[in-house]
């Protein structure tokens, strides 16, 4: 997807307030054939979480083990790099992901 500095900048206030929120997994899958920019990260889980605030989000699950892939698993949101490839001359994009609690 196209990341531009302006899009990143515009989203910052919202993203900032979403860090460190707790929730539970309500659906999960493991992506084995990813989109292009995620190749180095695959396989990785993508989950739908229901936060304590009742808001729902689709997020990548990081720092995970097989035992965390279950409906009801507690998670907390974190800020991580969107892409993990080094180098390049573009802006670094940070997004909300989540990790098991």
Partner 1 sequence: MSGIIGYGLYIPKYRIETAEIAKMWQKDPMEIFTGLKVRQKSIHGIDEDTVTISIEAGKRAISMAGIKASVLQAVYIGSESHPYAVNPTSTTVAEYLGVGNDYFAADLEFACKAGTAGMQVLVGLLSAGEIDYGLVIGADAAQGKPHDALEYTAASAGAAYILGKKKAEIIADILCMSSFSSDTPDFWRREGQRYPSHFGRFTGEPAYFAHVVAEGKKLLSQSKLTAKDFDYCVFHMPNGKFPRVAGKKLGFTPEQLAPSLTVDSIGNPYSASSLVGLGAVLDIAKPNQKIFFISYGSGAGSDGFVFETTKNILTKRKKSISFTEETENTVKISYQQYLKQTHSI
Partner 2 sequence: MKIHVLGAATTKFGELWDTSPRTLAKEAMDGALKQSGIRSSQTDALFVGNMLAGILGNQANIASLFAEELGEQIPAFRLEGACASGGLALHNAINSLKAGVYKTVMVLGVEKMTDHNSDDVTTALMSAGSDEERMAGATFPGLYALMARAYMQEYGATEEILASVSVKNHFHGSFNPKAQFKSIITVGDVMRSGKIADPLKLLDCSPISDGAAAVVITSDTSLAKRIAKPIFITASEVATDTLSLYDRKSFTTLASVVTASQKAYKSIGINSQDIDVAEVHDCFSIAEAMAVEDLGFSKKGQGAKDISENKYTLGKGKIISNPSGGLKSCGHPVGATGIKQIVEITEQLRGEAGKKQVKGAKIGLTHNVGGTGTVAVVHILER
Start-to-end C-alpha separation, the chain: 29
What binding mask, one character per residue, do residues 21-60 give for partner 1 by CB under 8 A, x or -? -------------------xx-------------------
Judged on CB neighbours under 10 Å (0-12, 13-18, 19+), 93 is middle
Least Å from the CB of residue 2 to partner 2? 10
| C-alpha–C-alpha distance, residues 91 and 3, integer Å | 8
Which of partner 1, partner 2, none lies near 51, with the C-beta cut-off 5 to 8 A by kind? none
Instruction: Answer yes or no whether residue 19 interacts with partner 2 by CB under 8 A.
Output: no
């Amino acid at each position: 997807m196209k990341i531009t500095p302006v899009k990143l900048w515009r989203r910052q206030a919202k993203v900032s307030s979403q860090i460190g929120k707790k929730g539970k997994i309500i659906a999960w899958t493991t992506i084995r054939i990813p989109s292009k920019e995620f190749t180095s990260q695959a396989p990785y889980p993508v989950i739908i979480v229901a936060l304590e605030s009742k808001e729902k989000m689709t997020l990548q699950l990081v720092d995970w083990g097989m035992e965390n892939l279950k409906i009801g698993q507690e998670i907390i949101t974190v800020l991580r790099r969107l892409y993990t490839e080094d180098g390049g001359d573009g802006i670094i994009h940070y997004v909300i992901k989540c990790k098991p609690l």
